[in-house]
Structure 1
Amino acid sequence: MVTAYRHEPFTDFTLEENQRAYDEALAYVKKQLGKEYPLIINGRPVTTERKITSINPANTTEVIGTVSKAEESQAEAAMQAAREAFKTWSKWDPAARANVLLRAAALIRRRKHEFSAWMTYEIGKTRKEADADTAEGIDFLEYYARQMIELKPGIPVNSRDMENNEFHYFPLGPGLTVSPWNLPFAIMTGTTVGPMVAGNTVMLKPASNTPVIAYKLMEVLMEAGMPDGVVNYIPGSGSAIGDYLVDHPHTHWINFTGSKEVGTRIYERAAKIQPGQQHLKRTAIEMGGKDTIIVDNDADLDLAAASILYSAYGFSGQKCSACSRAIVHEDVYEDVLEKTRKLASEAVTGDPVQRETYMGPVKDQEAYDKIMEYIEIGKKEARLVIGGDGDNSTGFFIKPTIFAEASPDARIMQEEIFGPVVAFCQARDFDELIEIANNTEYGLTGAVISNNRAHLEQARTDFHVGNLYFNRGCTAAIVGYQPFGGFKMSGTDAKAGGPDYLLHFMQPKTVTDQF
């Protein structure tokens, strides 16, 4: 019997001893900054001449680490290592593969604040956000390990007197994981170890903004007993090695989380059969969102404002699930807007190393420029209520920003900004609230704040999103509790952290033994 899964608890930072423990982890990690890291191919370090430099977005003078940059020749070497390792790893007992993940989870749990502190420095996560990121990574390791043990005996099918029928799952082969920078430990871990525990071998291309935290996972997986070549760590550019491996005839699957532009490009390229390719490539493509919180006129307005605040400004709005649209019934619109404005005005923006910081920087100059450009667009389309200010003199800081009286078809209501910007729009009744919520090409997350059960039941079917929440914010899905993935142009809805996620990286086989 598989042990019941319970998610990794979040750290209570209201306790002084937990704050002190995090301070100690920050001090320890700070001493490690500036080191060089190699690629890892077939379990061995590989150093290249070209490098990726990871910079602290809250202090651009601080180098987190310098990482070797993979080119096409290293990508091909990783493919060959993955193909060779697949021959044996795919035949390991699923429970033995799961044990590698369970041991890795235990190792990370003992160093939880250290892993979180790396993210505070490398991508500007506050204590709470970094702690949740590390906890989710541990959850993915634990949950997928247990899911694989559940799948080990196969699925029962009918047999007859004259025959015995069996139905089992088998791994696909080598594949490519392209992980994002915004949940640089959690999503990177889940999209790597899910296919891995299913018996596949992996070429891991982490985001160029966050290669160091990905290297830390590699260290743990190797310490946990992962064989050489099972996961190959090859940070590099998408155009140089991403396209090469997506197109490669021996790539069996691609697991991508990122922008719609890159995701749709991968989806298209993966569909083309290359010379020597004898299979169709599987894709798990998770992309963006333009996520909405609906507030009707029978809602707890304080709950609504608090839900909008943490959904819009958690990690500076740099989540595909972040609330960037608040659609509010006209009867309570001004009240919700003012309550949210007041909360946003109290949110401290600054260096995430500091305990009191609610919101840290955005990821880099490119993101800063894009968000500030959208703020200028918003000033022409709607009324600026609060924020709109940026400062990139020492890091990439943008104040929490609210726009009001936005039109449903305004650019700030339709396009993914990926920053601390939320637009308010009002509607006459619940039907119009739902209609506006559904008027984007995305369908990732959404929330409804209401005490009207009829409205909630209507939203259950009519609000077209993959993750729908009632009377809470639209972010913070928990592995095993709220499987995550979206409708429409938000992706293939692979439902990370769900009971059928591993099946995307396996193929079922029926064996009939006739007597």
Structure 2
Amino acid sequence: MVQAYKHEPFTDFSRSNNEIAYLEGLEEVKSYLGQEYDLLINGERVKAEEKIVSYNPADKQEVIGTVSKANRELAEQAIVAASEAFESWRKVKPESRADILFRAAAIIRRRKHEFSALLTKEAGKPWNEADGDTAEAIDFMEFYARQILKMKNGISVESRPGEHNQYQYVPLGVGIIISPWNFPLAIMAGTTVAAIVSGNTVVLKPASTTPIVAAKFVEVMVEAGLPAGVLNFVPGSGAEVGDYLVDHPKTRFISFTGSRDVGMRIYERASKVQKGQIWLKRVIAEMGGKDTIVVDREANLDLAAESIVKSAFGFSGQKCSACSRAVVVEEVYEEVLARVVQLTKQLRVGNPEAKEHFMGPVIDASAYKKVMHYIEIGKKEGRLMAGGEGDDSQGYFIQPTIFADVEPNARLMQEEIFGPVVAIAKAKDFAHAIEIANNTEYGLTGAVISTNRAHIEQAQEDFHVGNLYVNRGCTGAIVGYQPFGGFNMSGTDSKAGGPDYLVLHMQAKTISEMY
């Protein structure tokens, strides 16, 4: 019997021993700042001439580390290594593959505060956000290891006298993992190990802004006993290495998390059958959102305000699930707005190494410029109620920003900003609020704050999102509890951390034997 899965608990930093442990993690990370990391191809460390330098977004002069930057020649070597390793890895028993994930999860659990501290340094994550990222990475490894043990014998189908039928799952082949910077441990690790535990081999191209945590994760997988060639680590540019890997005829599937535009580009490129390619490539894509919290007139207004603020400004709004829109019915609009503004003005922004800071920086200069541009747009489209200021002299810090009275079709209500900006719109009634919430090309997460049972059931039926939350914020899906993925331009609704996620990395084989 497969042991029941239970998610990794979050750390209570109000306890002094946990605070001390996190500070020790920060000191451990500081001891290896500036180190160089090689590519990993077929189990061998490979140095490249070009490098990618990772900087601390809260202190942009501080170098976190340097990784070798792959070119097309090295990407080719990685694909070949993965293709060759697949022939043996696909025959390794699921129990053995799962054991590697369990060992890797145990290693990261022992080093939990170190990995979280690295996320604070490299991604600018405040303590709680970094701790949640690390916990989720552990969750993914534990959950997918247990899932493959449940699936290893396939699914029962009917047999007849003299005939025995089996329905089994077999791995696909070489997968390309293109992971994001906003959850540089959790999503990077989760997408990688899901492919590996399913019997595939992978080429991992992490985000160029957060490659060091990926390099550390690869070290953990090697330590856990992963054979050479199963995981190949090739940071590089999307235009050169990313396109090459997606296009390659030996590539069987692509698992991507990132922006809508890049996801669409990958989907289009993957659809083309290359010379020598004998399959249609599969694409697993999570591409962002424009997520809404709807507040009814019968809502708990304190809960509504708290949910909006935490969902909008947690990790500086740099989550695909972040609340970038709130739609409030007119009877309670001004009261909810006032409470949101009050809570927002209490938030402390600064270097996330300090525990008291709720918000840290945005990820880099490009993100800073983009968000500040949208704030200028917002000043024309709505009423600025809080924030609206930025300071990039030391790091890329932007104050949590609220715009009120924004029209449903305004750019602020339609375009993904990926920063600490929330637009608040007024609805005539609950039906109108749901209509506004659905008025977007995305469909990832949403939340409804209400005590009206009929309205809650209406939202369950009509609010068109992959993850709908009732009487809570719209961020913070837990592996195995709230499988995560969205509709429309939010991607392929792949439901990471769900019961059928591993199936996306496999294909079904029917075997019928006559006696």
Match of 2:143 in 1: 143
How much has 1:278 moved relative to structure 2?
A: 0.4
Match of 1:272 in 2: 272
Match of 1:89 in 2: 89
Alignment of 1:273-422 (within 5 A): 273-422=273-422
Q: Does 1:78 align with 2:58?
A: no
Cα separation, 1, equivalents of 2:227 and 2:310: 41
Match of 1:257 in 2: 257
Q: Does 1:474 align with 2:474?
A: yes
Match of 2:45 in 1: 45
SS in 1 for 2:36: strand
Match of 1:510 in 2: 510
Match of 1:442 in 2: 442
SS in 2 for 1:60: strand
Deviation string, structure 1 residues 227-284 (Cα, Å, up to 9, x no partner): 0000000000011111101110010000000000000000011011000000110110
**Could you tell me the TM-score, scaled by structure 1's length?**
1.00
How much has 1:411 moved relative to structure 2?
A: 0.2
How much has 1:66 moved relative to structure 2?
A: 0.7
Cα separation, 2, equivalents of 1:221 and 1:420: 34
Whichever residue aligns with residue 330 of structure 1, its letter is E
Cα separation, 1, equivalents of 2:371 and 2:176: 30
Match of 1:195 in 2: 195
Deviation string, structure 1 residues 304-330 (Cα, Å, up to 9, x no partner): 010001100000000000000000010
SS in 2 for 1:215: helix
Aligned residues between the structures: 515
How much has 1:355 moved relative to structure 2?
A: 1.1
SS in 1 for 2:87: helix
Q: Does 1:153 align with 2:143?
A: no
Does 369-378 or 28-37 show the bigger shift?
A: 28-37
Match of 1:463 in 2: 463
Alignment of 1:165-184 (within 5 A): 165-184=165-184
Whichever residue aligns with residue 219 of structure 1, its letter is E
How much has 1:374 moved relative to structure 2?
A: 0.1
Whichever residue aligns with residue 489 of structure 2, its letter is M
Cα separation, 2, equivalents of 1:339 and 1:26: 35
How much has 1:28 moved relative to structure 2?
A: 1.3
Match of 2:16 in 1: 16
Q: Does 1:211 align with 2:193?
A: no
Cα separation, 2, equivalents of 1:9 and 1:304: 25
Cα separation, 2, equivalents of 1:232 and 1:336: 50
SS in 2 for 1:346: coil
Whichever residue aligns with residue 104 of structure 2, its letter is A
Cα separation, 1, equivalents of 2:121 and 2:42: 29
How much has 1:74 moved relative to structure 2?
A: 0.6
SS in 1 for 2:65: strand
Cα separation, 2, equivalents of 1:7 and 1:162: 45
How much has 1:221 moved relative to structure 2?
A: 0.4
Whichever residue aligns with residue 212 of structure 1, its letter is I
Match of 1:131 in 2: 131
Cα separation, 2, equivalents of 1:28 and 1:93: 37
Match of 1:104 in 2: 104
Whichever residue aligns with residue 157 of structure 2, its letter is V
Whichever residue aligns with residue 86 of structure 1, its letter is F
Cα separation, 2, equivalents of 1:346 and 1:21: 27
Match of 2:65 in 1: 65
**Could you tell me the TM-score, scaled by structure 2's length?**
1.00
Cα separation, 2, equivalents of 1:385 and 1:491: 33
Match of 2:242 in 1: 242
SS in 1 for 2:251: coil
SS in 2 for 1:26: helix
Cα separation, 2, equivalents of 1:233 and 1:4: 32
Whichever residue aligns with residue 451 of structure 2, its letter is N
How much has 1:39 moved relative to structure 2?
A: 0.5
Instruction: Structure 1: state its 5+ residue gaps.
Output: none
Cα separation, 1, equivalents of 2:455 and 2:243: 46
Cα separation, 2, equivalents of 1:390 and 1:304: 27
Cα separation, 1, equivalents of 2:361 and 2:481: 30
Cα separation, 1, equivalents of 2:275 and 2:240: 20
SS in 2 for 1:304: helix
Runs (4+) off by over 3 Å: none
Cα separation, 1, equivalents of 2:488 and 2:298: 29
SS in 1 for 2:255: strand
How much has 1:181 moved relative to structure 2?
A: 0.1
Cα separation, 1, equivalents of 2:142 and 2:75: 29
Whichever residue aligns with residue 57 of structure 1, its letter is P
Deviation string, structure 1 residues 448-473 (Cα, Å, up to 9, x no partner): 00000100000001000000000000
Cα separation, 1, equivalents of 2:474 and 2:235: 31
Match of 1:232 in 2: 232
Cα separation, 2, equivalents of 1:187 and 1:303: 29
Whichever residue aligns with residue 243 of structure 1, its letter is D
Instruction: Structure 2: state its 5+ residue gaps.
Output: none
Whichever residue aligns with residue 173 of structure 2, its letter is G
How much has 1:87 moved relative to structure 2?
A: 0.8
How much has 1:35 moved relative to structure 2?
A: 0.5
Cα separation, 2, equivalents of 1:407 and 1:122: 37
Cα separation, 2, equivalents of 1:355 and 1:368: 23
How much has 1:162 moved relative to structure 2?
A: 2.3
SS in 2 for 1:144: helix
